[in-house]
A = this chain, B = another copy of it.
């Protein structure tokens, strides 16, 4: 599949690298056409890997990952362009973390709204699927990093889009993501970040995950 990855940080790099290793054609997008991190990533990941602007990556992808910080995702997606994203599946893995006042971060949006919902409202034709934001970026692409069975969540308004994303998750090693229903489920998964961060501070290690015991 042709996949656009928006964002050149640790999350974007990790996901783009995994997707390229699975044989997808991946274009990493950033604010500028020649972002050194994106160019370096493309050089290191074979002939199917390329770099460009947010708009280039969004246009290129049949499916697009939003790996920008949740606090600036709307702005990044506007740069990507509604026409380039229109009708496509957008996998939103972002968290609206505000580190400006130090640790622990607060959320820039929560309780009555979420980034996932904001994106869906701003781009009505895009099929937003929220997932993977509840695990460390190393774990996103390697669930076996944490022993035993544990969970990821998906939510979004389009069942077929969620099914497509479940297929990608499966290729990463995630079986049976928990479907939380429509995109308003983003609120719940974004709001567990404060507990996730607290646990990370407690364990001094991001190699953990939530499992829903039933």
A residues sitting closer than 8 Å to B (CB atoms) are 106-107, 110-112, 146-150, 178-181, 185, 187-189, 191-192, 194-199, 201-203, 207-214
Contact = CB atoms under 8 A, between A and B. Distances in A.
Contacts of A191: 110, 191-192, 194-195
Number of copies: 2
A213 B210 contact: yes
A13 B199 CA distance: 31
Contacts of A185: 198
Contacts of A201: 181
Contact of A210 (B106, B149, B203, B212): B212
Nearest to A108: B111
Given A188-B196, A208-B212, 9 more contacts: A106-B111, A147-B214, A148-B213, A178-B202, A180-B195, A180-B202, A188-B195, A208-B213, A211-B213
